Homo-oligomer: A and B are copies of this chain.
Amino acid sequence: MRLIVGVDLGGTTIVVGTLTEDGERMHGLLTEETPVHLGPEGVVDRMVAMIHRSIDQTRHEYGSTAVEIAGVGVGAPGPLDTERGIVIIAPNLGWHDMPLRDRIGAATGLDATLDNDANCATLGEWWRGAAAGGKVVVGFTIGTGIGGGIVLDGKVFHGASDVAGEFGHMTIDLTGRKCKCGNYGCVEAYASGTAIAARTIEELEAGTPSSIPSLVGGDVTKVTAQIVYQAAADGDLLALEIVRDTVRFLGAGIANIVNILNPEVVVITGGVTKAGDRLFGPLRTEVARRAFKPAVSACRIVPGALPGTAGVYGAVASYKVQRWGSA
């Protein structure tokens, strides 16, 4: 039995799992906090320990059946140099020019590959999730920020220098909100979890009446996107307006991608998918209102089917593409 380990390194958590090479079964799924405070070495040590533990659990589950670990695929925040296996900058980790692939390879004795985390989430959904088999697949990963990935014929499209798929930093309002990236009016500056919270806090501080403060014990700095969605479900008018605006911002961004790339599937991953049809219904309507009909009718907009593990599936699929030519 040949298996591949997948690692999804995030700014908050590390997720590791060991997959059969066909992606049918996952073993030894582990999730731990990313020990950012321990620096690059501490984070790598944690990843390596989790990889070993996941493999041990897998071997244990197979009992006497021989288990061969082909390698380990790693997904990490970028920008990256995929070919050289280097994390160029990862602001949430405080990393610069970190040769992550070779560190993991050397420490585990396994053949390792590296790819961008949002690319991996999209590739995972293409391989074993909601976008299975699509020829032109794009993914939006919505969390603290907004990442993106483009998968063409089952392979991540990296562009000329590994930057392709930065959907979060698409301008939808050219004189709009300043984004962390330095640009103005990026989708991420409106529709990321962080931005949803920030827009809500601004409204609350301006005195807009709402039940939201009561949900955070009066401390509006504790407002999160999750709390806004919860208040919207309870009928809070401010929360409903924030969600409606989020749909407009995100819908404009997705409509752009639909007109530019004409995908078969737009798969949305991340915490925001928990909002379910309350989000996806209006979102599809907004995209249909903005994008070209023949592009809209060729496209499904769906939540990811692998919550919490798309990145692991994708890291394994990326390993297969990089080493064997296809997943």
Which A residues from 276 to 327 make CB contacts under 8 A with B?
289-292, 294-295, 297-299
Q: Which of A142-201 contact B (CB under 8 A)?
A: 148, 150, 152, 157-167, 169-175, 181-185
Q: Given B164, B256, B292, which contacts A181 in the complex, CB threshold below 8 Å?
A: B292
A88 within 8 A of B: yes
| A181 to B, closest residue via Cβ | B292
Whether the pair B256, A163 counts as a contact (CB closer than 8 A) is no
CB-based contact B159/A262 at 8 Å: yes
**A262 touching B174 by the CB < 8 A rule?**
no
Q: Are B158 and A262 within 8 A (Cβ)?
A: yes
A19 at the A/B interface (Cβ < 8 Å)? no
A252 touches B (CB below 8 Å): yes
Q: Which residues of B contact A166 (CB under 8 A)?
A: 259-260, 262, 292, 295
Which single member of B160, B183, B261, B298 contacts A136 (CB below 8 Å)? B160
Using a Cβ–Cβ cut-off of 8 Å, how many residues does chain A contribute to the interface with B?
51
- Let me know if A129 is at the binding interface, CB within 8 A: no
Assembled-state Cα–Cα distance A261/B158 (Å) = 8
> How long is the Cα–Cα vector from A285 to B290 in the complex, in angstroms?
29
Q: How many copies does the complex hold?
A: 2
Q: Is the CB of A171 within 8 A of B255?
A: yes
Contact assessment for B263 and A171 in the assembled complex, using a CB-CB cutoff below 8 Å: no
CB-based contact A160/B298 at 8 Å? yes
Q: Collect the chain B residues with CB atoms within 8 Å of residue A183's CB.
A: 255, 289-291
A127 contact set on B, CB distance < 8 A:
none
Q: Is the C-beta of A17 less than 8 angstroms from some C-beta in chain B?
A: no
Which residue, of A185, A259, A295, has the highest number of chain B Cβ atoms within 10 A? A259
Among A135, A252, A255: residue with most chain B CB under 10 A: A252
